[in-house]
Structure 1
Amino acid sequence: MMPLSYRSPKTQVRASNIHGRGLFATTDIGKDEIVAAKGGHIVDRKTLREQISPRLGPVEIQIDEDLFIAPVSDEERESSMLYLNHSCDPNLGIRGEITFVAMRDIRSGEELTHDWAMTDDDDYSLECNCGAPNCRKTLTGKDWQRPDLQKRYAGYFSAYLACKIAMRCHSDRSEEPHNRSSSHTK
C-alpha cells in the first residue's frame, strides 16, 4: 500500500520515552522545514467517534469544526500514522491544516513533537506525561484558547484554529467599550 502520509526522509520511527513510538530526526532539520504531512480520509466527528476511534485509537487530525483527516481501516492505519507525540515544549508546528514544520532548528536525534493545542478543538481533558519542564500536567481540547499558547505558537496553529483565534480576538476587541473623550477639564 502506498503511504497515505508523508514523513521526511530525515526522520525515523522508533521507541519513544514520551509514549510508544515516536518520530525522530536522523539528521539536522532547519527551522520551517517540512517534516511531515498527514494523509487519510476526510470524516465527520460522528464517524470518527463511532466507527474509527474505537477500532484504531487516536489517529486523526482536526481540520475544521466537524471534519477530521484519518485512516478508516486497519490496513490504512500504519501508512497514515505520523508518530508525532504531544509535548508541552514542541519543536513542530502546523502550516495549513495537515503539514508539520520545524518551529526551530532541530538537532539529529531529537524526538519530533507537537502540542495538540495547535490542532485540537474538542471536549476532552487528560493527564499529560510529556516530561517537558513546562508541562501543563493536564491537556484539554480547548487549550488553543489560552492567551499564553496563542502568543507562543503564533504562526504555527492549524489554519482552522488560527481563524477561530482571529475571530475570537476580533470579537473581544469589538466588545471593548469605545474610548470616549471626557468633557471634564483637569
Structure 2
Amino acid sequence: GTVNDIFLAMCGGALRRYLLSQDALPDQPLVAQVPVSLRSADQAGDGGNAITTVQVSLGTHIAEPLKRLAAIQDSMKGVKSRLGDMQKSEIDVYTVLTNVPLSLGQVTGLSGRVSPMFNLVISNVPGPKDPLYLNGAEMLASYPVSLVLHGYALNITVVSYKDSLEFGVIGCRDTLPHIQRFLDYFEESLVELES
C-alpha cells in the first residue's frame, strides 16, 4: 500500500478505538472526505492546485487491522478508478455535487440538519523533503491546523516534512469529548499494523 493507505488505516483504527471508548461505534463504516490530486507526478512541478474530493470508507466496522486496510485500499481504488474514467468537466460537476449538502447547509443555516456525504475530513498534504530555514534556524516540524464546519466535527490532517509526518487533529470538543486520546489511538493503530 501507499503511505496514504497506511495513514487512512491509522485514522480508521484510531476512530474505531475512540468510538468504542465512547460506546458509540456504528455498524456502518465512517466515511472520510479526502482531497486527492488530479495531477500526475510529472505535472506536480507546474505549481498550483488541481484537486477534487472523494469519499472513502474507513472500515471502522472491521476489527482486524489488515482487513480494515484492505477495505480502505479497495474504497480508494474504486474512487480513483471512477475519477480516471471521467473528463475534467465531469470531475468538476462531481466535486460540486458531493459538496452540495455541506455547502447548502453552511449558506442556509441548515448544517447539522442536512447530513453531508461524509463524517469527517482527512487530508494528507505533501510537504518539503529538504529542511527549511529562517534566518539560519532550521524548522524542526510543521504541524497542520485545519478547520471544522457545522455539520461535521472532526478534521485530521497530516503534513510530511523531510522524513516525518506531522499530525493535526481538530475537533468539536462538545461533540468529541476526550479528543486528545486520538494521539494514543494513532500510535496504537500504527503498532497494530506493524505487528
Higher strand share: 1
Query: What is the TM-score when the length of structure 1 is the normalising length?
Result: 0.28
Higher helix share: 2
Greater CA radius of gyration, 1 or 2? Answer: 1
